[in-house]
Amino acid sequence: SLTGRLFLANVLVFGLQAAFPSLTSWGAKRSDLLLQGRQLHRLVTPLFLHGGIGHLLANSYSLRNIGIDVERSFGPTRFLATYLVSGMAGNVLSAIRSPHPAVGASGAIFGLVGAQYTFLARNADLFGYVGRRQKAQLLETVGLNLALGMTNPMVDNW
């Protein structure tokens, strides 16, 4: 699955970060550069970089839990488009709201959550109780991630 490939890409890139620490500074979101329209690769590269093993595990866990259902619902092309566009939009918002460098796929994962929630809400009659339960689980995931982000000053919630 594409979800599995993204998961593996994140793990492999994290290994590269460990071997080549300069990779992180090369690809992290830099607000100053993005807002000047320079080094636009930084809109995408942060999606595959992580700030530590805990960060990688949290994002990988969320991707595996949510990604498979979203990929199944939307197909691999729309899944990938949602993941990338959401991640890039998150990096743009982060660049506007925070001057600090940032890495991680949280924006992409929150985009997948939003897409799946909207899909379930628009098709509530079709999914019934199962859809309501899945929506509740998505909201729990969002709440937990936001709470963790608010308690860690190193997490960029934008």
The pLDDT value given to residue 119: 94
CB 79 within 8 A of CB 70: yes
3-class SS at 75?
coil
Helix (H) or strand (E) holding 113: helix 106-122
The pLDDT assigned to 57 comes to 87
pTM, whole model, 2 decimals?
0.88
**Count of CA atoms in the C-beta half-sphere (13 A) of 138:** 23
Distances in Å between the Cα of 66 and the Cα atoms of 3, 15, 146, 151 are 9, 23, 16, 23
Query: For residue 102, what are its two tokens?
Result: 């940032």
The dihedrals phi and psi of 24, each to the nearest 5 degrees, come to -65, -50
Q: How confident is the model at residue 62 (pLDDT cuts 50, 70, 90)?
A: confident
Write out pLDDT tens, residues 6-25: 999 999 999 999 999 999 99
Please, where are the H alpha helices in 41-105? 53-74, 76-97
The pLDDT of 42-56, averaged and rounded, is 92
